[in-house]
Structure 1
Amino acid sequence: MQVTVDVKGETTHEVDLPKPTYADVLRAVDLSPHEVSVLVDGRPVPEDQPVESSEVTVLRLIKGG
């Protein structure tokens, strides 16, 4: 499944994974579920849920400075 991952305020990635969960998508873009929230249509989704949308938004919860 091809998924567009928009990391808000940073980058956009295109990933192609067979039957991914949201945690798989995060790993593909080198992010940890401990540092981000994944949103679909503006609503948070659990990391262990299978991906059902071709577009996801990722919000970073912790950002170093």
Structure 2
Amino acid sequence: MRVTVEVVGEGVHEFDVESASYADLLERVDLSPHEVSVMVDGRPVPEDQPVETDHVTVLRLVQGG
């Protein structure tokens, strides 16, 4: 499945994935689950849940100090 990962304010990435979790997608865009929230259809999803959608939005929760 082809998945579009939109990191709000930073860009859009596309990946072909099979049997991946949302944490796997975060790793591909070099982000930690501790610094972001993964959203599907406007709702947060657990990072360990399998990817079952073709569009994911990632919101950064922590930026510079």
User: How high is the TM-score relative to the length of structure 2?
Assistant: 0.93
Alignment RMSD = 1.0
Identity percentage of aligned residues: 69
SS at match of 1:12: strand
Other-structure match for 1:31? 31
Deviations 1:4-60 (A, max 9, x none): 000011110011122110000100111110000000000000000000110000000
Number of residues of Structure 1 aligned to a counterpart in Structure 2: 65
Matched residue type, 2:27: R
Structure 1: where are the runs of 5+ without partners? none
Structure 2: where are the runs of 5+ without partners? none
Runs of 4+ in structure 1 deviating by more than 6 angstroms, as ranges, are none
Instruction: Indicate whether 1:8 and 2:8 are aligned.
Output: yes
User: How high is the TM-score relative to the length of structure 1?
Assistant: 0.93
